[in-house]
Structure 1
Amino acid sequence: MPQSSVSMAGQSSSVAVECDCLAHRLGNAADRAMRERQYPTDMTEAEWAVVRPLLPVPGWLRGRGGQPEAYCHRTMLDALRYLVDNGIKWRAMPADFPPWDRVYAFFRRWRDHALIAEFHDRLRAQARIRTGRDAEPTAGVIDSQSIKADAVVGADSRGYDGSLVECCLAALTLVLAIVKRSDDMRGFVVLPKRWIAERFFSVGCSPAASDSSSARTEGCPARRRPDHGTRSRRRYADSR
């Protein structure tokens, strides 16, 4: 999907543009008063400068029909950040944000068209490039919690299924290596590659890791998502 850095001609409003999002430049968001940013979750100018070029282009700008958007994209993202960080209900959205149903419609549209994952992938790629790494990870680490089987489960059906390794190779062209803890181990032992995931979450969830609310939201898996759904118990971390 195109990014919002494409150039489009014309504007639908004569009101002075105070934001450079597409809804302000080419939609009807400029007809509304600018919201004063006052919450810790509101994006800074530096954060917005990174996010702005990576936003997807709305369907109404790509000939898919629909009305030009009437609310600022930056304000919408700030509303979602506030909701996630504070764990509030949709209907409890503060009055200085757009109406809760408009914010939810914005989120639902992104969710249903897989734009959230696409936006996340763009941000991840940019962050990796800035640290001198490849845009796409060459390996991944999955740390899943082990669950004891019931006593009636036969020993031959316990443990990891070997077909999973074959399926990954055949369907995804990925080499899956399972790092298991030996039954003879006692105490804490660092296992190859497995510690990458443990280290990632221990730092991300530590109260001393950062005073930034956005850092706490991104680093700790216990934070609630905008759809208030349950979060998988699997944990992921990129590796070189």
Structure 2
Amino acid sequence: MSDAEWELIRPLLPPPATTLPTGGHPEFYDRRDVVDAVRYVNRTGCQWRAIPCDFPPWSTVYRWFRKWHGAGVTARICAELYEQVRVREGKNPRSVTVVVDSQTVKADATVPKTTSGCDAGKKATGRKRHLAVDTRGLPVMMMVTPANIHAAHAARDFLFRLRLAHPEVTLVWADSAYGGELVTWAQDRLRLTLKTVNRPKTKGFVLLPKRWVVERSISWLMRARRNCRDYEALLQHEAHLAWTSMALMTRRLTKPVADWREPKPPPPPPALPLRIRLHPWTVRLGPAPR
């Protein structure tokens, strides 16, 4: 990652043990190299043991990966970057409207059956990721469950977590799988307005209102090869999704923002050649070369 991206992530990481009152051993490897190694695995989809020798040892990188995910550091960094992106784009730090959807991803043969399942609708064995994004496509919350759990059943737990983590959310857009009794349950128990968007009965591709936002966010997550297939024996696939979102938001924060409110000046008119008629010759004078 660039120096500007590292300056965004560095203050959000927990302080080293040597700076705490309790003390501790100094860190042998630079944290930036560890973060680059995690992002390398997430982007390329390679095995942990296949990390190039330019990075720290794979055991060190995986240990920090698990430690930051278990302590909630990865989720806190995503939350901080999420608010920074919205403020930079002229929005409120938190959104009151989200769009939810689920996606089934195939699991590797090394994934145990206790943490995976078979999705009868998609005819795939693996895990199901539930995603909630704001109106601009930024991930708000993510949850991973076995694929054999239907979206309507997992939505109760997902919406309950969403209400606890983001009490400002009042409106949720979803597909028809979240309809039925779930709409009444969300309104009575969680005070959430759940609206569904049904697919029209037409053939071919149709751009669905509101739902296209979360579908685009899923395609952003699939750009990282580690998210195209689940290789984790434990339910740590949420951490890889968080690292992909983190890279997406740091890239947005380091790019210049164009102000669309200021009108652009009109382009200059093209220079036309001049024609001077002299009997019996015609002289053409073109624009000066740049």
TM class by smaller structure: 0.5 to 0.7
Greater alpha carbon shift after TM alignment, 71-80 vs 189-198:
189-198
Deviation at 1:47, TM superposition (A): 1.4
2:59 is the alignment partner of 1:104: no
TM-score (structure 2 length as normaliser): 0.48
Match of 2:96 among 134, 138, 144: 138
Q: In the superposition, relative to structure 1, how do residues 88 and 227 fare at CA in structure 2: closer, same or farther (>3 Å)?
A: farther
Residue aligning to 1:222: 228
Deviation at 1:80, TM superposition (A): 0.5
2:89 is the alignment partner of 1:71: no
| Per-residue CA distance 1:151-201 (angstroms, 9 max, x = gap) | xxxxxxx9655332244345544322121224x444443333112223445
Partner Cα distance (1:167, 1:129) in 2: 33
Q: For the Cα contact (< 8 Å) 1:93–1:100, is it kept in 2?
A: yes
Deviation at 1:57, TM superposition (A): 3.1
Q: In the superposition, relative to structure 1, how do residues 116 and 174 fare at CA in structure 2: closer, same or farther (>3 Å)?
A: same
Greater alpha carbon shift after TM alignment, 190-199 vs 51-60:
51-60
Partner Cα distance (1:95, 1:52) in 2: 23
| Per-residue CA distance 1:109-151 (angstroms, 9 max, x = gap) | 01111211111111121111111111222211123469759xx
Match of 2:196 among 178, 183, 198: 178
Aligned-pair identity in percent equals 39
Partner Cα distance (2:39, 2:59) in 1: 16
| Per-residue CA distance 1:49-80 (angstroms, 9 max, x = gap) | 22222223356644566533322111110011
2:147 is the alignment partner of 1:189: no
For the aligned residues, what is the CA RMSD?
3.8
Q: In the superposition, relative to structure 1, how do residues 138 and 221 fare at CA in structure 2: closer, same or farther (>3 Å)?
A: farther
**Corresponding residue SS for 1:96:** coil
Letter in 2 for 1:92: A
Residue aligning to 1:36: none
Partner Cα distance (2:31, 2:232) in 1: 16
TM-score (structure 1 length as normaliser): 0.57
Q: For the Cα contact (< 8 Å) 1:83–1:226, is it kept in 2?
A: no
Q: For the Cα contact (< 8 Å) 2:17–2:25, is it kept in 1?
A: no
Q: What 5-or-longer segments of structure 2 have no aligned partner?
A: 104-118, 123-175, 246-290
Partner Cα distance (1:197, 1:159) in 2: 15
Partner Cα distance (1:163, 1:62) in 2: 51
Q: For the Cα contact (< 8 Å) 2:37–2:61, is it kept in 1?
A: yes
Letter in 2 for 1:93: I
Which structure: larger Rg?
2
Q: What 5-or-longer segments of structure 1 have no aligned partner?
A: 1-42, 150-157, 207-215
Residue aligning to 2:182: 164
- How many residue pairs end up in the alignment? 172
Q: For the Cα contact (< 8 Å) 1:84–1:224, is it kept in 2?
A: no
